[in-house]
């Protein structure tokens, strides 16, 4: 009966050891209690865990996707027209290439292309050859930047009670 009360008081599990004793490997001493020399010699499990962690070595890192390599088409040096890849973030359904544009000058790594009347130097990595029938070709023009022209709407006077109607709007032309 006395042993059962001690087990309940110490909250001993079924194998009759306290939590500190199962963790450290020996029971904790209370001040004023004699110390067992054999229990002092045993190494606590925390030291074993530390030694195990210190013996672990990190896994060597690897490089994934460090160099973006684009395939340069073989026949890009023979073509007259090219498409230009859009490298900006794309909206849904936006085309990955714009063009076709006319080639002006070629070098080993860069090409000069005519984009809407102005010449731009572009890396060969961003170009794709355009296989186009020259008869039906009209070079692509970059969209104009800035605000569109103002529209001028005129009111058509009528004799009805509604006060007239509006004519279709047309761009204003400055005279």
Tens of pLDDT along 62-87? Answer: 777 656 566 677 788 888 888 999 88
Residues near 76 by Cβ (< 8 Å), separated by ≥ 6? 82, 124, 127, 128, 129
The kind and range of the H/E element at 97 are strand 97-106
Tens of pLDDT along 40-65? Answer: 555 567 878 888 888 888 888 877 76
Q: Provide the pLDDT for residue 52.
A: 86
pTM value surpassing 0.95: no
Q: How confident is the model at residue 15 (pLDDT cuts 50, 70, 90)?
A: low
Taken in order of first residue, the domains within the chain and their CATH numbers are 72-142 (2.30.30.140)
The kind and range of the H/E element at 9 are helix 2-10
The DSSP symbol for 31 reads T
pLDDT of 7 higher than 60: no
100-to-18, 51, 61, 122 alpha-carbon distances in Å: 81, 66, 43, 14
Tens of pLDDT along 133-144? Answer: 777 777 666 667
The DSSP symbol for 15 reads T
d(CA 110, CA 126): 10
For residue 63, give both structure tokens: 């490089």
Q: Provide the pLDDT for residue 94.
A: 87
């Amino acid at each position: 009966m006395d042993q059962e009360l001690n087990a309940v008081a110490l909250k001993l599990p079924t194998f009759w050891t306290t939590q500190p004793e199962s963790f450290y490997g020996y029971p904790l001493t209370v001040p004023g209690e004699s110390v067992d020399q054999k229990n002092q010699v045993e190494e606590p499990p925390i030291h074993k865990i530390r030694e195990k962690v210190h013996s672990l070595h990190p896994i060597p890192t690897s490089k994934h996707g460090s160099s973006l390599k684009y395939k340069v088409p073989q026949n890009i040096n023979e073509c007259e027209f090219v498409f230009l890849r859009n490298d900006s973030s794309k909206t849904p359904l936006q085309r990955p290439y714009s063009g076709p544009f006319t080639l002006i000058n070629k070098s080993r790594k860069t090409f000069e292309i005519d984009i809407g009347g102005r010449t731009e130097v572009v890396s060969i990595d961003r170009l794709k050859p355009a296989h186009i029938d020259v008869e039906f070709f009209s070079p692509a023009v970059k969209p104009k930047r800035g605000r569109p022209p103002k529209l001028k709407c005129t009111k058509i006077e009528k004799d009805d009670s509604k006060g007239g109607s509006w004519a279709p709007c047309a761009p204003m032309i400055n005279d």
